[in-house]
Amino acid sequence: MTVLITGISSKLGRLVAKELLAREHEVVGIDRRPWGDAPEGVEVLQTDIRKRPAEDIFRTRRPTAVVHMATVTHLMQRSADRFRVNLQGTRAVVQHCDTYGVEQLVFVGRHTYYGAAPDSPLYHTEDEPPMGLASFPELADLVAADLYAGSALWRFPKLSTAVLRVCYVLGPSKHGTLAAYLRGPRVPTVLGFDPLFQFIHENDAARAIASSLEAKLRGVFNVSGPPPTPLSVVIEQTGRSAVPVPAGIVNMALGRFGLPRLPKGAIDHIKYPIVIESGPFREAASFTHNFDEDQTMRDFRNAR
Amino acid sequence: MPTRFLPTNPAIAERVDRLDLPFSAHGIDPYGIDKRELGRFFTWMGWFYRRYFRAEVYGIEHVPARGSAMLVSNHQGGIALDAGMVLASVFFECEPPRLAQGMVEKFLASLPGSSHFTAKVGQVTGLPQHAERLLQDGRLLMVFPEGARGTAKLHHQSDSLVRFGTGFMRLALQTGSPIVPLAVIGAGDAFPTVANLYKLGKLVGAPYIPIPRYLLPIPRPTTFQILYSAPMRFEGDGTESDDLVVGYVEQVRLRIHWLIEQGRKLREGKLDPNDLEVT
């Protein structure tokens, strides 16, 4: 089938494209960024998903399925533009899917939807509301985009929509939220807290997205790989050293002393766990992960 | 964590190895329980259990060797010493050893250090979702239906029972788990609360701050009697009417009340342990 990937030039987008090619699907992509060495047969249109040329792709190529990954996640950037891309962009994609008879839409969302708090349960299930917005308002547009995509399930019943809430993605590309947090040799942690972190190898994440298309999933699904690992073990196994900072001064210390900057709300994400239950996805998409937590951390650590 | 510098007794590490939990290569289970932390925890808890408090355990054979079960206990003594004694008793006396997993007050998860420690020794935040999941995973759940109302008992109220919640019974019905009623005697004497400071507690996020008779927040050495009775099973699926569920809860409460009476007699030397019938 012909699959359109929005946000194809991201590290994960490229992996999904290659995975779909390997499964003998035709791939077209849209992204504001170029993909210089795109594999043969992959057509990449460099434009914004809200613009007319993007709609033209739907009209001319008539994709059977769409993987929507064009959401801005860089949490430091809290601009009106980010809100527009994440919300108006998602709206445009859903509308075009309906107008041009797309059969399937996969929205790639994040497990941070659930938020981190001292009283949030381990192993979140898909029916839970987003509880982290009070402490982490920067996530509002991503959460809204997730819920908006989910509304396509009743607004456009002919379109088979799957909303995936994927845990942190880690791997040799060294891209993504968790990779950014682990970027430097010193990783700030909050003294007296060692939450569980759940991550999936980037190749497994790409396979999971491709499998969700082939299984024609409909509904909201959590996607995760191996069981969660405590932050202290993640830091140790990726060859970093933890810098425990007392909770009272953690905001002041970030961005100084060689420590990375984090948005204020993200502090809760390094104090409390966000762990999801992905049993329904594994069953519905017949998915099993190939990379365990050690292999994933090793691949991240050894990548240049 | 400072606990990292505490020693681990090799015999206890060997018991931790025999726990029927799905530990990863790093010694971590899916709930974040850490093997090394368990070894250190039971090393010092074992000293309290055997030397400082001298616990006497009766009817441990009633704790199922495997599979889900709910240990339902009375609760008293300000700082939840009884929970520690139950944890130690199923770890040291059961063959193979078992890990009881309790439901801790939410405020402990937000305190630095305690958040780290409680999760690593299997004591998860008190949420119904956690309890249900642990039982579905075949774990041993430790429940105090009196909750913080129980630990708030003053010394002269020790060995009484306050109102039981009903949530535990619905969970037992829903998951088909047996209930093992038990009583712990001694927590009230070890920590004789004379007052609870609720306003001060509110300031630090705790339900209250218990003040013992001698002011220092240190438990006194005393003996503990821990009595387990035969598992009780109730028929249902958890959607039963409140009237029915309250009736079931009352049966468990009466059993615990009876265990407390037996335990008191043992403690006061009015009952010979050989004459005790724990059913």
| pLDDT tens sequence across A239-255 | 999 999 998 888 777 77
Return the residue in A114, A124, A193, A291 with the most chain B beta carbons within 10 A, the one to mutate for interface testing: A193
Question: Mean per-residue pLDDT for A170-193?
Answer: 92
Q: How does pLDDT run across B212-237, given as a tens digit for each residue?
A: 888 888 899 999 999 999 999 999 99
Residue B35, pLDDT above cutoff 80: yes
**Contact predicate B22/B29, CB 8 Å:** yes
CA distance A235 to A301: 10
Residue B264, pLDDT above cutoff 70: yes
Average pLDDT, chain A: 92
Residue B139, pLDDT above cutoff 90: yes
CA distance B168 to A225: 32
Question: Mean per-residue pLDDT for B249-261?
Answer: 96
Question: Mean per-residue pLDDT for A217-232?
Answer: 97
| Closest chain A residue to B109, measured at CA | A118
- Closest CB to B115: pick one of A193, A229, A237: A193
pLDDT of residue A67: 97
From B109's Cα to the closest Cα of chain A, the distance in A is 5
Assign 3-class secondary structure to A204-231: HHHHHHHHHHHCCCCEEEEECCCCCEEH
From A198's Cα to the closest Cα of chain B, the distance in A is 10
Return the residue in B26, B37, B106, B108 with the most chain A beta carbons within 10 A, the one to mutate for interface testing: B26
Average pLDDT, chain B: 92
Residue A80, pLDDT above cutoff 80: no
Q: How does pLDDT run across A14-48, given as a tens digit for each residue?
A: 999 999 999 999 999 999 999 989 999 899 999 99
pLDDT of residue A75: 59
Dmax over CA atoms of chain A, in Å, equals: 57
Residue A139, pLDDT above cutoff 90: no
Q: How does pLDDT run across B178-197, given as a tens digit for each residue?
A: 999 999 999 888 888 888 99
Residue B1, pLDDT above cutoff 70: no
| Closest chain A residue to B130, measured at CA | A121
Q: How does pLDDT run across B99-133, given as a tens digit for each residue?
A: 999 998 888 888 888 888 999 999 999 999 999 99
pLDDT of residue A77: 57
Q: How does pLDDT run across B49-80, given as a tens digit for each residue?
A: 999 999 999 999 999 999 999 999 999 887 88
Q: Do A192 and B110 touch (CB under 8 A)?
A: no
CATH H superfamily, domain B54-275:
Glycerol-3-phosphate (1)-acyltransferase (3.40.1130.10)
Q: How does pLDDT run across A81-136, given as a tens digit for each residue?
A: 788 888 999 999 999 999 999 999 999 999 999 999 988 899 999 999 998 888 88
Partners of B182 in the β-ladder: B73, B228
- pLDDT classification of B18: cutoffs 50, 70, 90: very high
CA distance B259 to B279: 10
pLDDT of residue A74: 61
Q: How does pLDDT run across A257-282, given as a tens digit for each residue?
A: 777 777 778 889 999 999 999 999 99
CA distance A276 to A201: 16
Q: Helices B128-136 & B167-175, crossing angle to 10 degrees?
A: 30
pLDDT of residue B175: 95
Question: Mean per-residue pLDDT for A144-161?
Answer: 96
Check if B111 contacts A (Cβ < 8 Å). yes
Question: Mean per-residue pLDDT for B78-107?
Answer: 93
Residue A60, pLDDT above cutoff 60: yes
Task: Tell me if the pTM is above 0.95.
Answer: no
CA distance B142 to B161: 17
| Closest chain B residue to A119, measured at CA | B106
CATH classification for the domain delimited by A2-302, as one of 3.40.50.150, 3.40.50.720, 2.60.120.260, 3.40.50.200: 3.40.50.720
Question: What angle (nearest 5°) sits at the alpha carbon of residue B98, between those of residues B95 and B104?
Answer: 155
CA distance B53 to B31: 30
Residue B2, pLDDT above cutoff 70: no
Partners of A43 in the β-ladder: A28
A72-76, A180-184, B143-147, B163-167: least confident range: A72-76
Domain boundaries, chain A: 2-302
